């Protein structure tokens, strides 16, 4: 009887150990994730320029290589017909990212908005798209990570 219990416990340890190894291997292959995104738009006032500030947190088990950001009007004739793609993000600007603990970085993208920029911009809702690229080459595109309004 004691021998049966020892064999059962040993078999259980092998099964649990294998499941744990699988879980660790699977966890190591997670693609980038984007969370806690926010955009703040401030229009120019008087002689003072405005700004667009976007922040987000990106996690990737292999580490974060790059985070690109693109602001686009909700009523865009280009993206209304065809969805935004990673290829569309190729020429987008990169955010500045700083470690935030573990495999997560906090990224900020800030750009000044001149009076001319504000006057030429479409009025209404705008979306901010994010393309996160992990060090292992995996990518995550979020076409509408955050919204802001140009009045």
Same domain, 73 and 89: yes
Domain count, the chain: 2
Q: Is 58 in contact with 34 (CB distance < 8 Å)? A: yes
Same domain, 17 and 62: no
pTM exceeds 0.85: no
Query: Which residue did the predictor score with more confidence, 66 or 80?
Result: 66
Q: Is 112 in contact with 51 (CB distance < 8 Å)? A: yes
Burial class (CB in 10 A: 0-12, 13-18, 19+), 44: middle
pLDDT tens, position by position, 26-73: 555 789 999 999 999 999 999 999 999 999 999 999 999 999 999 999
Same domain, 137 and 108: yes
Mean pLDDT computed over every residue of the chain: 86
pLDDT band at 87 (very low <50, low <70, confident <90, very high): very high
Same domain, 20 and 37: no
- Among residues 112, 126, 120, 136, which one has the least CA distance to residue 53? 112
Per-residue model confidence (pLDDT) at position 113: 97
44-48, 75-79, 96-100: least confidently modelled range: 75-79
DSSP letter, residue 64: E
Same domain, 78 and 101: yes
- Does position 7 have pLDDT exceeding 80, yes or no? no
Same domain, 60 and 19: no
């Amino acid at each position: 009887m004691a021998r049966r219990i020892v064999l059962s416990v040993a078999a259980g340890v092998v099964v649990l150990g294998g499941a744990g190894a699988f879980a660790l291997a699977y966890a190591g292959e997670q693609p980038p994730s984007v969370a806690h995104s926010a955009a703040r738009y401030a229009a120019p006032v008087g002689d003072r320029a405005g700004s667009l500030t976007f922040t987000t947190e990106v996690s990737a088990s292999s580490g974060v290589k790059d985070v690109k950001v693109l602001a686009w009007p909700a009523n865009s004739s280009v993206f209304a017909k065809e969805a935004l793609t990673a290829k569309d993000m190729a020429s987008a600007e990169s955010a500045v990212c700083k470690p935030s603990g573990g495999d997560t970085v906090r990224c900020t993208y800030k750009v000044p908005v001149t009076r001319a920029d504000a006057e030429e911009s479409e009025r209404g809702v705008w979306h901010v798209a994010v393309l996160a690229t992990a060090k292992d080459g995996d990518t995550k595109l979020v076409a509408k990570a955050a919204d802001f309004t140009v009045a």
